[in-house]
Amino acid sequence: MKVKRIDYLDAIRGIAVWLVVLYHAYARYEHFPYGFEYASFPLLKYGYLGVELFFLISGFVILMTLERSRSFINFLYKRWLRLFPAMAIVTLLFYVGYYLFCEKWIPYYNLLPGLTFTEPYFYKKLLHIDTIKALSPSFWTLFVEVKFYAIFGGVFFLLRKNVHKSILFLLILWCFSIITSLVCHNEFVMKIAELFIYYGWFAGGCYAYLYFKTQIDKYLYLSGGITLVAIILSTLSKEYFVEYFITVITIIAVFFIPLVFEKVRFVFQNKFLLFFGFISYSFYLLQEPMLLFFIDKIHTAAGGVINSFCIPLPLFIAITGLSYGVTKAEIWIRKLIKF
């Protein structure tokens, strides 16, 4: 059965991807020409919280997909079909593009983490090559997502589609991760525990889906409560915790307000947000490496003529166009290889 898209979730994806992109463009890298000049603005400074927004959406969508999948293999195939074609196209673009601009090839082993959705750490241990890294620093979120798909999907079907026990298992793994980070110093155990540190967000998204599906209030309370705990835990380590807390609540409210108040969903019918929700996956894959590679080149070419805040703007346009092309191509590829 085909999963019907929920428009307002696409719009939230558009918001989430722009939060991440603006963070990377203005607040993550001090070596950019403007340094941290704009990083004090909270939505830029904490734009990485767009990732948590993505994780909430994933919990929602993945549970919905699991309920409509015939088997674990069928579910994994759907996920692979959704993720791999765009990743393959982007990998090819980076591989060829790097050679054209730098006149040397990217080492083949740096292609492996992205194409297999597996952390470089695994390949460093397997191949004994310490220099292995993903083509984009942003790929780490995909490594988290894919393991969530495999673990949650496997448990869901192992428990004969028992939703509540499956979500409880996520919460147990989340608690294990939190406790381990506080008391354990074994590198291997800590690496295992790191896999589950975001599972509170996924569980919050799962309960949000159950509320969306049934309109039973207890699911909304569970979703909100678990998400609030995740927010508080993330706040404890922040220096400017009040500023951070206000910002993260504001960002996460973008997920919950249209979930609870159906009448405001028309706001999320904005064509700009829906468009970027449509291309959000390709946009996310492309954005950080292109920013890292071209920001300084644009600054040099501009020769100080344009305001420093405007330096990334041509890149935003270029990444948008390229992302649209990749998205259309990967949709065509999915149809071609689907069986």
3-state secondary structure of 135: coil
The model carries a pTM of 0.94
pLDDT in 10s for each residue of the chain, 339 residues: 444 568 899 999 999 999 999 999 999 999 999 999 999 999 999 999 999 999 999 999 999 999 999 999 999 999 999 999 999 999 999 999 999 988 788 999 999 999 999 999 899 989 999 999 999 999 999 999 999 999 999 999 999 999 999 999 999 999 999 999 889 888 888 888 888 999 999 999 999 999 999 999 999 999 999 999 999 999 988 888 899 999 999 999 999 999 999 999 999 988 999 999 999 999 999 999 999 999 999 999 887 788 889 999 999 999 999 999 999 999 999 988 876
Q: Measure the CA–CA gap between 14 and 4, rounded to whole angstroms.
A: 18
**Which bin fits 286, alpha (ψ -120 to 50), beta or left (φ > 0)?**
alpha
Rounded CA separation 24/287 (Å): 8
pLDDT value, residue 206: 98
Q: How far apart are CA 46 and CA 319, in angstroms?
A: 22
User: How many Å apart are CA 309 and CA 298, to the nearest integer?
Assistant: 12
Q: Report the C-alpha gap between 97 and 101 in whole angstroms.
A: 6
Q: Classify the phi-psi angles of 281: left when phi > 0, otherwise alpha if psi is within -120 to 50, otherwise beta.
A: alpha
Grouping H, G, I as helix, E, B as strand and the rest as coil, residue 162 is: coil
What is d(CA 86, CA 257) in angstroms, rounded to the nearest whole number?
Answer: 31
Nearest alpha-carbon partner for 62 in 73, 75, 50: 75
* Domain chopping of the chain, boundaries: 7-337
Euclidean distance between CA atoms 165 and 176, whole angstroms: 16
Which whole-number Å values give the CA distances from 243 to 8, 39, 86, 236, 246, in the listed order?
A: 27, 13, 36, 12, 5
Query: DSSP of 200-259, one letter per residue?
Result: HHHHHHHHHHHHHHH--HHHHHHHHHHHHHHHHHHHTT-TTHHHHHHHHHHHHHHHHHHH
Q: Supply 33's token pair.
A: 């020409």
Q: Given this model, what pLDDT does residue 73 score?
A: 96
Residue 133 identity (one-letter amino acid): K
- What pLDDT is attached to residue 2? 46
